[in-house]
Amino acid sequence: MPSRMVLVTGLSGAGKTQALRYLEDMGYFCVDNLPPTLIPKFAELCAQSARRINNIALVVDIRGGEFFQTLFKVLNELERSDVNSDILYLEASDEALIRRYKESRRRHPLGGHGEVLRNVQEERHLLEEIRGRADKIIDTSNMTNQQLKKKLGELFGGDSEASQLLITVISFGFKYGIPLDSDLVMDVRFLPNPHYDPVMRPLTGNDPPVRDFVFDSPVTARFMEKFTDLVEFLIPRYIEEGKTTLMIAIGCTGGVHRSVALVNRLGEILRQKEYRVTVRHRDIGKTG
């Protein structure tokens, strides 16, 4: 069984879809509008999948119609299982919900007529019992999307803020073009180039002779110190702004020697800071 399940429910227009996106960014396997009767089977399938799925998040609300009425039976089953489940209930004031429906021009799920306030009040009444069973309640009336994301991170994120950001450090060669999805690009073609040494030319930045040659330069050591300070300053700022992925691209001429050595070193430094880091060398196998 998954180690954690978050059941997202609450009022239509209160931000359940947005919350599900943020939970997905935090590594949860997410499904919107799953009929409650399928929840136990779904949890079982996740546990049996080849890729171990530890955290799942499901939106369950009145869009499920008659299926929604079986939710309490399912919740009782979950309490008897070994699934660590939380009910997250999202709500907002009548004024906020009406404003959001007017802005989006979408029809309320209970809207057989055009009276949004009447629909909101009816739904609020229907959900009173599930609200009473909620483990966590968030009022999004005056929340920005960023504030909602931060709150969800506090409630359901990992043990550290670093777990909320996935960092990719990639080496590349300028002769093959800059990676299109880069966030930060650094040109290190000013560093001493091992390519001009016949012994090191067939090697890469993964090999000790090339790595040592690159880092024996005082310029490299000074640059690495300053660039690492910049990256370590920026990462918390990106996390505060809600960024979930960050690609740092370091390029030299061919993407084989200098950039590879520096990417490896930066990856090591960031891992020591307990950030989630992936290191990739895009052009290391290319020739010509």
Residues 6+ apart with CB under 8 A from 221: 215
Average pLDDT in the 37-64 region? 78
The amino acid that residue 169 corresponds to is V
Question: Which pLDDT does position 269 carry in this prediction?
Answer: 95
Q: What is the mean pLDDT of residues 41-49?
A: 76
pLDDT bracket for residue 1 (50, 70, 90):
low
267: phi then psi, degrees, rounded to nearest 5: -60, -40
Query: In which band, very low, low, confident or very high, does the pLDDT at 49 lie, cut at 50, 70 and 90?
Result: low
Given this model, what pLDDT does residue 123 score? Answer: 87
Task: Give the pLDDT confidence score for residue 166 in this predicted structure.
Answer: 87
pTM attached to this predicted model? 0.62
Q: What is the pLDDT of residue 65?
A: 65
Q: Between residues 77 and 90, which one has the greater pLDDT?
A: 90
Helix ranges (DSSP H) in the chain: 16-25, 39-48, 71-80, 94-104, 116-126, 128-133, 145-156, 208-215, 218-240, 258-272
Of 17-26, 38-47, 221-230, the range with the lowest mean pLDDT is 38-47
At 162, the pLDDT band (50, 70, 90 cuts) reads: very low
| Most confident by average pLDDT, 54-58, 79-83, 160-164, 266-270 | 266-270
pLDDT value of position 286: 81
Per-residue pLDDT at 104 exceeds 90: no
Confidence of residue 164 (pLDDT cuts 50, 70, 90): low
pLDDT band at 160 (very low <50, low <70, confident <90, very high): very low
Regarding predicted confidence, which is higher, 151 or 266?
Answer: 266
- In angstroms, what CA-CA distances link 91 with 9, 136, 141? 9, 11, 8
Q: Tell me the HSE value of 181 on the side-chain side, using a 13 A CA sphere.
A: 8
Q: What is the pLDDT of residue 239?
A: 81
Judged by average pLDDT, the poorest of 98-112, 192-206, 211-225, 271-285 is: 98-112
Strand 4-10 and strand 136-139: pairing?
unpaired
May I ask the CATH architecture of the domain 4-158? 3-Layer(aba) Sandwich (3.40)
Range 114-141 average pLDDT: 88
pLDDT score of 149: 86
Q: Are 281 and 171 in contact (CB under 8 A)?
A: yes
- The pLDDT of residue 113 is 65
Quickly state the pLDDT bin for 211 (edges 50, 70, 90). Answer: very high
- CATH 3.40.50.300 residue window(s) in the chain: 4-158
Six-digit token string for 35: 């009929």
pLDDT at position 288, please? 55
Give me the pLDDT at residue 203, please.
93
| pLDDT confidence tier of residue 45, bands split at 50, 70 and 90 | confident
Place 33 in a pLDDT band, splitting at 50, 70 and 90: confident
